[in-house]
Amino acid sequence: MPWPQFLRRLRHPSPPPGWLEAAAALEEVARRPPLLRWIAQHPRTPAHVRARLLPTLPWRTLAAIAQDASAHPQARAHATERLVFLWTGLTGGERRSLAPLAPRPLWPLIWKQPDARVLAAFLQHPRLSPEVLAGLILPPLRPAQAEALQASRWLDLVPIAHQVLVALDAGLADPGSGLVLGMASPWIKALPETERLVAASRLRYPALRRMARAWAAPPVEEGL
């Protein structure tokens, strides 16, 4: 079969019975992960063929399957499970490359990484929303997380600024946390002056609370 025709059939919604299984067994196809991807995620691929192929695929191909809405649900689920399993064995460079592509079940694992470069890449994820990010920023904040957040596109969002300050507040109380008071400055400045008093009311670390209050708008006196 000519190669262009083979590729068209590989993506055809209704290939001939047994064709996908036969294609997966071809030596030339077995050496090409992008082709195996289309077999593994095809809705008509037998489950046993899919189960055999997915563990052999590299992480980039698995990430593509996990993010492809047209892929068979079983293929997406298995690809995600495989990525979670592979994550701890990836190099730093591989983690940085995977972070902005990773499916959502992998996000809590990524957020715990002590590498600010991996976290910075993750914070560029196109599917990351303010609500989800706020749910990941739990106290106490870690130094790598603080560094990545400060250099991210999320710096000017009021809900994120409040969440970061609360997480910093818990970390600053621990002398061994690696956090310093200056890390809070960009987040306090990112808040409108009227919001800084709100932030101060939620903080317990004395120096941080004083900083937030000092930069807050002065109260409006009655009668003026």
Q: What pLDDT does residue 92 have?
A: 96
Q: What pLDDT does residue 6 have?
A: 75
Q: What pLDDT does residue 224 have?
A: 47
Q: What pLDDT does residue 12 have?
A: 78
pTM assigned to the model: 0.86
Tens digit of pLDDT at every position of the chain (224 positions) = 556 677 777 777 788 888 889 888 888 888 899 899 999 999 999 999 999 999 999 999 999 999 999 999 999 999 999 999 999 999 999 999 999 999 999 999 999 999 999 999 999 999 999 999 999 999 999 999 999 999 999 999 999 999 999 999 999 989 899 999 999 999 999 999 989 999 999 999 999 999 999 998 665 555 54
φ/ψ (deg, to 5) at 218: -65, 145
Q: Helices in the chain by DSSP H: which ranges?
A: 3-10, 19-24, 27-30, 33-41, 47-53, 59-67, 73-87, 92-98, 107-111, 116-122, 130-136, 143-150, 158-172, 185-190, 193-202, 206-214
C-alpha to C-alpha distance for 29 and 45, rounded to whole angstroms: 15
Q: What pLDDT does residue 27 have?
A: 87
C-alpha to C-alpha distance for 69 and 189, rounded to whole angstroms: 40
Q: What pLDDT does residue 141 have?
A: 94
